[in-house]
Amino acid sequence: MYEQYPVDKKVVLVGGSSGIGRAVAQEAAAAGAHIVLASRNQQRLEEARQEILGHVEAFTMDMLDEASVATFFEQVGSLDHLVISAVADETKLGAPITQLSTANAQRGMEKFWGTFFVARAAASRMNAGGSMTFVSSVSIFNPPCPNLVGGYGGGYQLGVLGLKGITQAATYVVY
């Protein structure tokens, strides 16, 4: 993503208040990018905004709420790079498929739907030469996926496999 340093580029991080998104935000800010953080919890978001040095804005947004996503991108305007690392409670969704509840399978797909809502809203606002990065899991490269039938993955695994599909589709649409 950063073959050239993103000086003055606007980098939007959905899930930017924690973990991977927050770390990417710190790196990009240090390289001179204009950072926009998004996640649901206002307090954690504000803590991240204050901790990251540089040009950093932060807006609450729930990627599963289409109206919230639309409002967010009206505030953001155009952008250069989008990183989506958000996902909720994935470690609670693991189960062998024979014990995977419908509710947890559907929750696992939140990762797919949130990515779809955000990518769709962002696509028409991307500047030329921009990029979208969807943070997923290395397990998508190891089909057949043992986690889905055997252990940890469960509902989450359905979500990341859906994400692989949307990434392949978006590759041909976003440039």
Ligand X SMILES: NC(=O)c1ccc[n+]([C@@H]2O[C@H](COP(=O)([O-])OP(=O)(O)OC[C@H]3O[C@@H](n4cnc5c(N)ncnc54)[C@H](OP(=O)(O)O)[C@@H]3O)[C@@H](O)[C@H]2O)c1
Positions touching ligand X (CB under 6 A) are: 14-15, 17-21, 39-41, 44, 61-64, 85-88, 90, 114, 135, 137
Contact 33, 11 (CB under 8 A): yes
CB nearer to ligand X: give 17 or 104: 17
**Taking the complex as a whole, how short is the minimal distance between the CB of residue 80 and ligand X, in angstroms?**
20
Q: Return the number of the residue (2 or 113) whose C-beta is nearest ligand X.
A: 113
Shortest distance in whole angstroms from residue 39 CB to ligand X: 3
| Other C-beta atoms lying within 10 Å of the C-beta of residue 64 | 16
The CB-of-57 to ligand X minimum distance in angstroms stands at: 15
CA dihedral 168, 171, 174, 175 (to 10 degrees): 170
- Identify the bridge partners of residue 12 per DSSP, sorted by sequence position: 36, 82
- What backbone phi and psi angles, to 5 degrees, belong to 22? -65, -40
Considering the complex, state which of residue 141 and residue 175 has its C-beta at the smaller distance from ligand X.
141
